[in-house]
Each structure stands twice: as structure tokens, then as C-alpha cells.
Structure 1
Amino acid sequence: MKPELHLTERAGSSGWRDPAPAAPAGPSRNFWAGLIAAVTVACLAMLLSAGQLRPRESGAYRVSVPLDFKPFDPERWAIMNSESYADALKIDPSLPDPRSIDYADATALPPVDPAALRDEAFVGPPAKPYVFRGASATDRERAHYCLTAAVYYEAGSETDAGMRGVAQTVLNRVRHPSFPNSVCGVVFQGSQRAGVCQFTFACDGAMARAPNRAGWLRASRIASAALGGAVFPGVGLATHYHTTAIWPRWGQSLVMTNIVGAHIFHRWRGRWGMPDAFRVPYLGREPVPGPYLAVADQLAARALGTAPTALLPAGSGSTAAPLPDVAPAPLPSAMAQGDRAIGTPVPGAKPAPAQPTYADPRLNRSGEVRDEFQNSGEWIR
């Protein structure tokens, strides 16, 4: 009889069982679970120490602050709408004084002009207002005459803006340490020698012809305003200028500020061209107005194309002769200012010498005078 094998099955189980799997290499599952739990506890501890999480306890972390919020405070509103600090001080005497921190009332300032801001960005800072007061009546008269002559002979055919630009440049030089500290000294600087003056009209014979009365009066008005403190910001702190027809070599070493009329204006580079450099006070002492080389000698030197030594003042040589002293002396009768009309002779003054006629062959149709200029060179009546 053959033996029989009986297999008994239970519900949900099999009589055949797989062998138990081998344990995997590395940390066990319990190890990873413990590590995660430790990290979680550490993070919670850090949050609690930093105050991010607080236990919900009563009393220890609860603070009540009474609030008395007013959406409309009549007193504060009245202070903010006060017309002046004095009015606000009547409402609240404890207000701080705004002048203690050098704060000006912004409502009293004029509105900012965008065009003026653009001009200042291009031209540079303007000159500071300064009144040029002569030490005596003679000094004031001399300063006015010299500035008027510069404005007339340099920009007599231009608009008021062109004249004001020339006047501002002259006065900028007066206050700069690089130039003489007087109006006449600046205008006639270098006129002791023909052809080397700072302003061409002072040594090229241009003053041989008497000025036009209307043009001279207009230049006189502009010179008077400039000496009285009027500033022309259109040229900034310019100390040099030249006509638009030329470009001298020295123009490359300066900063162009603007073009006004027929002139291009320049200022110094660096700090020498900033407002702090124009600090020399005006002492009010004016030398005798130039030109310091006779006009007849200027014309002779111009005809020869050079400045002969015989025409130079004594002691000039390679060094310019010093300016005359400031002893009182009458102005030329054709330019006399003050209460006298232009052309009225100064009492006691010597008659002006007759100016020679000349014709420069280098000029086109030299010697021919147009009808409207037939009377040029004569004293104005």
C-alpha cells in the first residue's frame, strides 16, 4: 500500500511558504524613524527659542494697550494749515523753531522754472549777485565809463542779451584772482602795447570813431545795471569770449558755457571756474580809463602791421607798463557821464586832439564811408 501525503489548507494561507528574506544591509527602518523624530524635535526647539512659536498660555504673552484714535484732530489740523509759523505757535507753543535747523519756509520760495534748470545744467552756475561800489564819485564814474565802453565797442550791434553777456564777463574777471581788481584795469588790460590787449577795441584803433549816441546810452544802461548787482545767468561764470567767426587755440583749454549773439563764452576748467574762485572783494579804486597807448599810435601800428618799439610807452619793453595811479582825472569829453550829457566838455578839460584819418589797404573798398556813417568820428552834439 502506497503512503499518501495529506496537505491541509487554512483559509487565507497556503501550505507552501517562501523562505524569510534576508535582512537588507545598512541602517534599519527604526534608525531612520528615530533620526526624523530627532530632527523634528530640534526644529521645534529652535522655533520656540526664537519666539516664532509660543505656547497658548493665558496671561504671560498677552498685553492690552488702550487706544484713543481720533480720525480728525481739530488742533493738529489747524496747525498744519496755519499761514505762518507765528500763527501755528499761537495754537501750540511747544512747536520747535524751524530756523534752528536752517530751514526756510518752502512756500516763500519762487517756483522752479524747468527752462532755468536746463540752462544752468548747460551753462553752469551763475555768478553771485555783487554790487560794485566805487570808493568815491570819481571811481564810480570811471567804472561806469570803462564798462560802458567795453559793452559798446564789443557788442554795440547786438541785442541786450549780447551786451549783458559782455558786461557779466568783465565783472567776473574783476572778482577773479587772475585779473586786475578794477573795472578799468580789466577792460584796458594790456592796452599799453598795440595788438596785445585783452579786449581788441582797446588797442586796435577802434576808439578813433565816436560812438553812436543811441547805442552808447543803451550800453550805459546795461553797464549801470550790472554794476548795481544785476546778474546775467546766460553766460554763467565766463571769463573769456570770442566771436563765432573764429576759434582761438586757448578755447580748447576752457569750458564753453554758451553762445549769446555773436560771441561764444568760456570759463576756466576745474575749481578755478567754480563760484568759490570768484571771491576777490572789489576795493572800489579805479585807475584812469584807457586806452593807455594813444589812439594815433594804435592806428600807426595797425598800418604797419606791428607795434614798433618807438610807439610803446616808456619802460614797456617786454613787460607791460603799470597802470596809472588813481589820482582824480577828468574823463574824455566825448564820454563824460554823470549829470552831463554825452559830448558836453568837462570844465577845465583839454580839447581832444584831432584823430587822424586812415585807410587800410587790406580792407575791401577801404577809405569809402557809407552815407549813414559820414559823421562818424565827430564829437556828438
Structure 2
Amino acid sequence: MHRRGWKRPSAAAGGKHRSIFSPLVVGLGIWIGFPTVTAFQDMTSLVSGLEANARWNSYIEKSVAGSTQAAEMPFAVSASTGAMSGAGVDLPGVGTVSFTSKSGVVGETPDEDRIVRTGKGGRLVQIAPVAPPKNFNAGSIFERTSSLLRPSMDSDLKLAFAKPKIKGKEVEIAAAFHVREDKKPQAGISPMLAKLINNETPDVLATAYAPAEPDYAKASPFEALLQDEQADGGRFIPPMGKGDHSWLQNPLPAAVFSQPEQACLANAIYFEARSESLRGQAAVAQVVLNRVRNPTYPSSICGVVYQNDNWFNRCQFSFACDGRKDRVTEPSRYKIAKDIAMAVTAGKIFLPEVGSSTHYYASYVNPGWARAMHKMTKIGLHIFYRTYGGGWS
């Protein structure tokens, strides 16, 4: 059986009809979808802006010579707009606008040469401090007559040379600026001997009074290094009083600070004056040390204390030749004697009333040599004497 097959029409057969129908449909859709004007291509549209309601009624006409217009619109390029020179346009709400071709033309000079920037600067502004008036300097107060006649300061303020009203408050004001320092106990000094101390610079060889740490509050390390060298080398030199002998200023030998020498001096103080006051005991120690300084006597403490100790009751200090055994029965008093011995040897204690005395005796005896010497003072039961010649007599 023969079948007739169906054939699809070819695209070439209906291509002619579709080529006209498709643009027509697209154009109709754009016209319906965009009913407004998309752009203005004439001069009137550019001038009137969006006021297109009466733009079909606008026209260009030549301005009347001598007439006035509300505004002018110049054109930069005269080649294309020169034909419109002298024409104008009436705009709603503005009036007549005249077109010109020559005025307002941009010059050919570039902006770099046309703009003057000499008066311009950076954003960071440097402000110099305002100097005081030249006439208002030190010593020119009288030249400022306007300030003197009409002062701007408070009447309660006083000038620099005004006399302060502090009468009766001097002590109170001085106390406010006075630094109170707590008195520190001196190294090696017994509290009982503090009242007898009259010299703050002991002998440099007295290591017992050397501070454990330097006091930097009073003297810095630089001052300690740069200070002037002392003339006496730091040794204690007793002050000379009226009538004192020159040998008083002889420094003591360095050996007097040794333990054996200090023990001999402590024995003399303890056995000769332990019942006396602290001042009386210091006076006995000073007499012993005066003999060490005197070239007439031995140059050591032990030599002075035990001189002629083999002469029964005829030695210099009675306890050394009285035939009795020296025994310390009061350790507390002996400790005081040791403290006094070191303080007097170091020069921390020096009694000016005793001075260069080399002799003393108790008031209950009457030696014959007393009439040949100068009486210095009496402390407790002891009377102290100084020789006239500086030696034995």
C-alpha cells in the first residue's frame, strides 16, 4: 500500500513574510511602552529644558536692534554658531534670551598661566608666638603710663617691692620651710655620752666611729671624691686655749687606737675615777692623753699609765703602784670606762676647761707640787693643774 508522507514546510518559503512582520511588532511595542520623548535633538529643547508642553510653539527670531533681553547665551565655538548670532528665543517664565557669538569666548591662554597662585599656601599654617610689646621690658614700667593710671590687676595684688605683712609670723613661716631631720644616733657612741660629745668629726683612725654606710643625704659620692684635702689629714687636733702649750696640737700616735692601749686607758679611768661623773672620767682620760702628746712623757698610753709602777706609792697614778691587785668588780662601770676612753682618744670629747692639764689630785689630799702649777678647774673631787713651762713643771 502506498503511503503519502507529510512534509514540513521549509523555512525559506515563509521567510519573506517574517522579515516584515517582526520589525513592525517590535516598533509597535516600543511606541506603546515608551510614550514620552527620549531625547531632544534641537536647540530649543536644550534651552527650554524639560518644559516640552509648548516646545512645538517655540521659534527662533532675530533680536531687534536696541532691544533689551532678559539674558544672554554665548557660544564658545563661533564657527558652528555664528549664523545664530543676534537671534533670540522666548522662554516661558524667563523671557527673551539673546544668542551671542563673540562675548564669553574661552581664551586660548591655559589655566596654568592664567591663574595666579602666588597668594596661596599649604594647608598647614605656621603660627609664630606673639612677642611682648617692645616698650614693655624690664626697667620700663614708668613708660607704661596708661597701665599705671588705670591698672587692670586686682587692687589686692601687690607689686614685687611691696613690704609683706608678716609681722609676728616670722617663726611660723620659717618653720614651714625648715626641713626637720631626725637626729640619728652616732655610731659607737653610748647614749649616756651623747651630752658630752662636742666634736662631730672624730679622728680618721678611730674605726670604731666609722659609719657602716656613707650618708649620701649630706654628701654625694662626687663631693667625697672632689673635696679639698684636709690640712691635718683627718687627724684630730685639739683646739688651743689661752695659756695652752703648743705640744697640745700634736696628733696622737696611731697605736693609741689598738686594743692594748685602749685597755690601759680604760684601766686608768676605772681605777682612778669610776666613782666620778662621766665628765670627771673624761677629764682623767684627757690628762693621760695630754701626757702622750707631751714630749716629756712616754709616747704610749700604757707607758704613761704605768710609768714608775715599780716605785711603791711614788708612781704617776696611784692604782699602778699601791701594791694591790687590780681586779674589775663592776663590769658595767668598766664598759663605760672603755666607751669614754675611745671617745676621748678619737676627739669626740674634749674639755676646754681641762685644756693641756697634765696633773690632777683628789681634794682630800694636799700635794706639795700643786703650788708650782696653774690651777685649771675642779670636776667632782679632782682638781686639775697645768704646768707653767710645759714640761715637768
Structure whose residues are more often strand by fraction: 2
Larger radius of gyration: 2
Q: TM-score, normalised by structure 1?
A: 0.37
Which one scores higher on RCO, CA 8 angstroms, separation ≥ 6?
A: 1
